[in-house]
């Protein structure tokens, strides 16, 4: 009896019909391809033995000046740094209050005293005044650093100019509507605005049946105390309301530390030098911020972090503050950040020009070598640029030779060119936007990303779409309401780049399925595995990924198991013809060709093989198996008939590795019916 063989083509293909995908793989989970052969995917184990407490949305690894190995962890409920196995909670802290205005000015002085019972503000803190306050001829609005701490209930800030008069307590804007009109009169003493200026109201106020919120043009300015704007709809009644009910909204950005000697961090080595001296922890430390996402990078040994839609924070190992604190002068609201090279410039995208309203297409950047400088001048390289196409910036990163900015529809290159422009911007692709801020990654010198039409790549030849044999499985089940959670996961150890994405069939909105591309083989595979954040191999070793609503962190490629549990690795082939495909064939032997372990390692893998045979593509299958194969197996008897067959191979044993080669079967013709 002759022997037939099944030499599997690398790659999973869900586009082809089973018969067309002859000797190909039609579905799989937790496998990869190596030199054209199928093998079990590398496993993982916990990088950190405890949970973080919420979904992790960003990871970043770096080494500090004391050779500490750090992993920055941006989770929905926290920001932390794991250093040499110890987790340090460094979540930025805020406190938001609505209070009756209590502002005091002195004529010819820029110092303003603010009363807020229990605020316990220190000179390390910042306060954001979210409702305009008119007092002493000044309009206070935006971010201010605390200039002087005056105890637990008051403090001073410094206004941009000196007050015109001694005054108190200050007043918020008042809105007046007329029934049937969209014109709104705003009363704000000494507003300082002219016709054509814009003004922002970022605390929503309902008056006359309309809501005042956002950016407005000044239509008229009849007096120094009043001006008019046009609302988006007409008022349904004549009404008058103070913004925020007359209260001022204050948002504090709180720095915790330094701590006193003998308390907490002031013990042992940490109590030396500046860390053991100075101001004690505030009596009102606020609450940790929550974030839907994070972008993380390092500025030398300093971690820089930006919660989606929030400010930019920094934290220095062995530094003065125990939590990440607001970067002075940086934009207060941003879509995300990254550090651009070669001049080491902090770039923020989807940023603010005036600290009050985000511009979804605005890029701002700091001075070279100084992330506290953001106002452009002839003596620094700070600046800004507004992308002219698309509706919003979705993401950005520093690639090997240039920085890249994606909008929802385009790709822009951001090249460092030095003064006076600092960066040059060129659109290099249209219709190739990014689906989410973490949906792009770098493998070698090539950038890969996911957009709504497919997977894209940028290399020396420009933007190209990557042919994808699993497109149907990904895009016909893609949950487009949660694209911001798509995670791109480069694995340079195996020349693979993976996208973890949310599916309609799962319904949780979390990235629970994956599509993986092997750049050497040009092959795809797919499966189910949740990863909510990822970094490629780094100073911390092999790749690290995060999963679960409790925030688990795993290191990959260091085990043959799934965190101590046997991996359920499997694949199913398309239909292949038995013999020449004209006759019904009788198959009686399966002859394996596996590697059952690593080179010079224990050969202990146990692989289950199932063969399904049928006479025609649409006929019912005869299923035989599963049959167990191990290093001692020579052949197994099956005794089955058909014109075409498919195979399923799977393993679920601990501590095993396998790779398949030339799988053979013994057959004989058995007639045509």
* Segment 63-102, tens digit of pLDDT: 999 999 999 999 999 999 999 999 999 999 999 999 999 9
List all residues 6 or more positions away from 598 whose beta carbon is below 8 Å from its beta carbon. Answer: 657
List all residues 6 or more positions away from 446 whose beta carbon is below 8 Å from its beta carbon. Answer: 457, 458, 459, 519
pLDDT classification of 6: cutoffs 50, 70, 90: confident
For range 516-536, the mean pLDDT:
97
For range 33-41, the mean pLDDT:
95
Among 575, 519, 655, smallest CA distance to 23 is for 575
Residue 414 has pLDDT above 60, yes or no: yes
Scanning 3-123, the segments in alpha helix (DSSP H) are none
Among 186, 177, 171, smallest CA distance to 222 is for 186
DSSP line for 658-673 = -EE--EEEEEEE----
- Flag the least confident range among 179-183, 315-319, 485-489: 315-319
For range 227-253, the mean pLDDT:
97
Scanning 111-240, the segments in alpha helix (DSSP H) are none
pLDDT classification of 667: cutoffs 50, 70, 90: confident
Residue 267 has pLDDT above 50, yes or no: no
Q: pLDDT at position 618, please?
A: 81
For range 608-634, the mean pLDDT:
90
Bridge partner residues of 48 (DSSP): none
Q: pLDDT at position 672, please?
A: 57
Among 396, 477, 403, smallest CA distance to 433 is for 396
For range 406-431, the mean pLDDT:
96
Q: In 3-state terms, what secondary structure has residue 32? A: strand
Over residues 546-601, the pLDDT tens digits come to 999 999 999 999 999 999 999 999 999 999 888 766 778 888 889 989 999 999 99
For range 613-642, the mean pLDDT:
89
Distance of CA 123 to the CA centre of its chain: 32
Q: What does the mean pLDDT of the chain come to? A: 93
Q: Which pair of structure tokens corresponds to residue 504?
A: 């309609």
For range 229-234, the mean pLDDT:
96
Among 127, 118, 145, 146, smallest CA distance to 283 is for 118
Helices (H) and strands (E) in the chain, counts: 1, 56
Q: pLDDT at position 673, please?
A: 54
Q: pLDDT at position 581, please?
A: 64
- Flag the least confident range among 434-438, 617-621, 646-650: 617-621
List all residues 6 or more positions away from 269 whose beta carbon is below 8 Å from its beta carbon. Answer: none
Q: pLDDT at position 283, please?
A: 57
CA-to-CA dists, residue 581 to 385, 572, 621, angstroms: 64, 20, 16
List all residues 6 or more positions away from 268 whose beta carbon is below 8 Å from its beta carbon. Answer: none
Count Cα neighbours of 203 within 13 Å in the Cβ-side half-sphere.
25
Over residues 128-187, the pLDDT tens digits come to 999 999 999 999 999 999 999 999 999 999 999 999 999 999 999 999 999 999 999 999
Q: Which pair of structure tokens corresponds to residue 539?
A: 């100073």
Among 403, 260, 407, smallest CA distance to 342 is for 403
DSSP state of 482: G
Query: Is there a contact between 219 and 195 (Cβ–Cβ < 8 Å)?
Result: yes
- Flag the least confident range among 206-220, 247-261, 449-463: 247-261
pLDDT classification of 273: cutoffs 50, 70, 90: very low
DSSP state of 352: B
Q: Which pair of structure tokens corresponds to residue 524?
A: 């795809």
Q: pLDDT at position 257, please?
A: 76
Query: Is there a contact between 311 and 330 (Cβ–Cβ < 8 Å)?
Result: yes
The backbone torsions φ and ψ at residue 580, rounded to the nearest 5 degrees and listed phi first, read -95, 0
Between CA 228 and CA 234 the distance in angstroms is 14
Residue 281 has pLDDT above 70, yes or no: no
Query: What is the edge-to-edge ordering of all strands in the sheet holding 44-46?
Result: 44-46, 552-556, 544-547, 533-535
Of the chain, the percentage scoring pLDDT greater than 90 comes to: 84
Query: Is pLDDT larger for residue 292 or for residue 274?
Result: 292
Among 526, 568, 611, 612, smallest CA distance to 13 is for 526
For range 489-511, the mean pLDDT:
98
CA-to-CA dists, residue 648 to 157, 241, 581, 591, angstroms: 71, 70, 20, 14
Q: Which pair of structure tokens corresponds to residue 400?
A: 């090997």
Query: Is there a contact between 550 and 530 (Cβ–Cβ < 8 Å)?
Result: no
Q: In 3-state terms, what secondary structure has residue 578? A: coil
Residue 268 has pLDDT above 50, yes or no: no
Q: pLDDT at position 266, please?
A: 35
Between CA 126 and CA 144 the distance in angstroms is 6
Parallel, antiparallel, or unpaired for β 496-501 and 513-518? antiparallel
Q: pLDDT at position 2, please?
A: 81
- Flag the least confident range among 13-27, 141-155, 194-208, 576-590: 576-590
Q: In 3-state terms, what secondary structure has residue 278? A: coil
């Amino acid at each position: 009896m002759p022997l037939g063989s099944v030499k599997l083509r690398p790659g999973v293909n869900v586009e082809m019909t089973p018969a067309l995908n002859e000797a190909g793989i039609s579905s799989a989970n937790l496998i990869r391809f190596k030199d054209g052969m199928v093998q079990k995917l590398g496993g993982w184990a916990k990088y950190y033995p405890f949970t973080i407490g919420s979904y992790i949305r960003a990871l970043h690894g770096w080494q500090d000046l004391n050779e500490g190995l750090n992993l920055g962890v941006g989770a929905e409920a926290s920001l932390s740094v794991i250093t040499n196995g110890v987790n340090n909670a460094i979540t930025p802290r805020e406190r938001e209050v609505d209070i009756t205005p209590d502002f005091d000015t002195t004529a010819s002085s820029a110092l303003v005293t603010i009363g807020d019972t229990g605020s316990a503000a220190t000179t390390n803190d910042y306060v954001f005044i979210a409702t305009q306050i008119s007092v002493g001829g000044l309009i206070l609005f935006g971010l201010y650093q605390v200039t002087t701490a005056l105890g637990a209930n008051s403090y001073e800030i410094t206004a941009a100019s000196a007050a015109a008069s001694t005054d108190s307590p200050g007043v918020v804007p008042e809105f007046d509507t007329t029934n049937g009109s969209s014109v709104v009169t705003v009363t704000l003493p000494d507003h300082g605005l002219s016709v054509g200026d814009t003004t922002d109201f970022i605390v929503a106020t309902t008056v006359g049946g309309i809501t005042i919120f956002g950016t407005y043009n000044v239509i008229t300015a009849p007096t120094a105390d009043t001006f008019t704007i046009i609302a988006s709809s007409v008022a349904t009644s004549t009404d008058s309301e103070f913004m925020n009910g007359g209260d001022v909204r204050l948002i504090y950005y709180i720095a915790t530390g330094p701590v006193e000697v003998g308390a907490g961090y002031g013990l042992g080595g940490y109590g030396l030098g500046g860390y053991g001296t100075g101001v004690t922890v505030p009596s009102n430390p606020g609450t940790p911020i929550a974030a839907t996402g994070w972008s993380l990078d390092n500025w030398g040994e300093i971690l820089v972090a930006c919660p989606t839609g929030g400010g930019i924070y920094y934290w220095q190992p062995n530094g003065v503050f125990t939590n990440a604190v607001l970067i002075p002068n940086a934009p207060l609201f941003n879509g995300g950040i990254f550090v651009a090279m070669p001049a080491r410039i902090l770039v923020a995208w989807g940023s603010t020009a005036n600290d009050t309203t985000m511009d979804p297409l605005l890029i701002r950047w700091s001075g070279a070598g100084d992330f506290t400088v953001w106002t452009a001048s002839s003596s620094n390289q700070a600046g800004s640029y507004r992308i002219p196409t698309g509706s919003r910036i979705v993401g950005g990163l520093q690639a090997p030779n240039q920085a890249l900015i994606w909008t929802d529809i385009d790709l822009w290159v951001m090249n460092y060119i030095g003064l006076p422009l600092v960066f040059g911007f060129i659109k290099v692709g249209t219709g190739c936007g990014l689906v989410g801020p973490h949906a792009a990654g770098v493998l070698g010198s090539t950038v890969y990303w996911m957009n709504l039409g497919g997977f894209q790549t940028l290399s020396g030849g420009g933007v190209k779409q990557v042919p994808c044999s699993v497109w149907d499985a990904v895009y016909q089940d893609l949950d487009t309401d949660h694209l911001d959670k798509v995670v791109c996961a480069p694995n340079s150890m195996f020349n693979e780049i993976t996208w973890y994405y949310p599916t309609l069939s799962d319904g949780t909105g979390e990235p629970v399925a994956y599509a993986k591309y092997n750049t050497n083989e040009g092959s795809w595979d797919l499966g189910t595995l949740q990863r909510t954040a990822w970094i490629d191999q780094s100073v911390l070793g092999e790749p690290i990924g995060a999963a679960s609503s409790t925030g688990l962190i795993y290191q990959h490629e260091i085990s043959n198991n799934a965190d101590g549990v046997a991996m359920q690795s499997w694949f199913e082939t398309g239909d292949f013809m038995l013999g020449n495909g004209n006759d019904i064939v009788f198959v009686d032997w399966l002859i394996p060709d596996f590697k059952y372990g690593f080179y010079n390692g224990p050969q202990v893998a146990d692989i289950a093989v199932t063969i399904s045979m049928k006479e025609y593509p649409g006929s019912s299958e005869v299923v035989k198996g599963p049959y167990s194969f191990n290093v001692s197996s020579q052949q197994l008897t099956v005794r089955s008939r058909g014109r075409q067959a498919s195979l399923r191979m799977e393993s679920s044993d601990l501590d095993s590795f396998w790779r398949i080669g030339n799988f053979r079967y013994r057959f004989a013709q058995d007639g045509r019916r």
